[in-house]
Amino acid sequence: MLDTGLPPLASNNPLTASGHSHASHVMGQLFYDSRSPEGFDPMERASALGCAAVRMDVLLGFMHKVTLMDGP
Instruction: Provide the pLDDT for residue 2.
Output: 62
Three-state DSSP class for residue 70: coil
Closest CA to 60 of 24, 28, 23: 23
Render pLDDT for 23-66 as a digit per residue (tens, 0 to 9).
888 889 888 888 889 998 888 888 888 877 666 666 666 555 55
Instruction: Give the separation between CA 24 and CA 21, rounded to whole angstroms.
Output: 5
